[in-house]
Structure 1
């Protein structure tokens, strides 16, 4: 399938749900931290650095690493913008692995941050919500001395039932499910595709996804969305 055909299918779908991953945000200058050019490069045991254990046992190490994930000056690109615009014309939902907040920055209202957001932070000790700008200056809460953390799902942590149920509902209602910029290797996010009620699944990715019956477009997502 070529880019024009993929864009036409998205334009004509009566309802659409997007499953988005890191490839959606790389055009905005946010590195894919699982790629060779990502912030994981050269760092041993990257999963540990984003784990609950690291946060608790080595809070300074955790904090230093998480600071690299923030890109507050990044702006939504054409993919975020076109998805937000589609919401104005039909039922459209987005379920994103990304923790960068760019879908909502672009104006998407029906967006589920499946893995949370770096731009929501709170104190683990007292529960107070803390501005992310404050977190980037110090990981200790001035009010109670507790540890501040971003509201993201770390390795070893579970997902809230309500979050999973909302994502399943978004997938199930779609006439067309569009997977953009993710290899669908991380669960439970990857398992959401099984809740699609129709056979219409379109994958827009630079590498193919094995074992899933879909129409695939091996292209940069921004090339397809520029045609919508």
Structure 2
């Protein structure tokens, strides 16, 4: 075990205010595809600009196309993996542990984490875009039309061209300001404004990145280029 890896593990174990910033790489071991890899959901569309399928414009103009794509993002058979479970365990051991996640699959919460900021929303929070009544996600997967008023149902996720929830931004900022150790896990950390959250960290906090591919930050950080599952099993 390299000294750098051991130091990173020790820092996480000794942290008082621990924050995880997580991306798709934390959920792929649970069988949830990412977006941009060779097997990712965007790649499989064959479109030059697949982001359109998750845009506000697509939702308004091509509701059937939007619906068919979004249904592919649901993986009800997926279960929290060892990384989700380890983060939940650390929250029990260290009450000031938080997760700020780009993922919309709710696996952190299913693992038992309670201090979670769903930065991009959740697939399992579904509402009617006409009357705003909340609807069960399983009802949505059967039909995107609200039986109550005839409006179009949608999950409460942040689409391209839409603004983020102000509370998610505020809560993330406050959590990061208080952190003494920040772990960026399973993400290339390129999606804005999620990647800009790092600028709200305390000047004294330590940043650790655990990812198979290089991640480049403008703040000092320790890079652990490794699969997240293999790293987290040693915490």
TM-score w.r.t. length of structure 1: 0.97
Q: Secondary structure at the match of 1:17?
A: strand
Could you tell me which residue of structure 2 aligns to residue 54 of structure 1? 58
Q: Secondary structure at the match of 1:126?
A: coil
Is there any run of 5+ residues in structure 1 with no aligned partner, and where?
Answer: none
Measured on the aligned residues, the alpha-carbon RMSD in Å equals 1.1
TM-superposition CA deviations, 1:27-79 (whole Å, max 9, x none): 00101111111111242121100000000100000000001100011000111
Higher helix fraction (1 or 2): 2
Could you tell me which residue of structure 2 aligns to residue 227 of structure 1? 234
TM-superposition CA deviations, 1:68-126 (whole Å, max 9, x none): 10001100011100111111122101000000000000000100000000011000001
Q: Verify the 8 A CA contact 2:20 2:185 in the aligned structure 1.
A: yes
Q: CA deviation at 1:3?
A: 4.1
| Counterpart Cα distance in 2 of 1:165 and 1:122 | 23
Q: Secondary structure at the match of 2:147?
A: coil
Kindly tell me the number of residue pairs found equivalent between the two proteins: 228
Could you tell me which residue of structure 2 aligns to residue 78 of structure 1? 82
Q: Secondary structure at the match of 2:175?
A: helix
Q: CA deviation at 1:199?
A: 4.0
1:27-42 to 2 correspondences below 5 Å = 27-42=29-44
TM-superposition CA deviations, 1:137-157 (whole Å, max 9, x none): 000001110000001000000
Residue 157 of structure 1, aligned match among 158, 162, 182: 162
| Counterpart Cα distance in 1 of 2:6 and 2:206 | 17
1:87 aligns with 2:91: yes
Residue 208 of structure 2, aligned match among 202, 209, 214: 202
Residue 147 of structure 2, aligned match among 142, 150, 158: 142
1:133 aligns with 2:135: no
Is there any run of 5+ residues in structure 2 with no aligned partner, and where?
Answer: none
| Counterpart Cα distance in 1 of 2:231 and 2:179 | 20
TM-score w.r.t. length of structure 2: 0.94
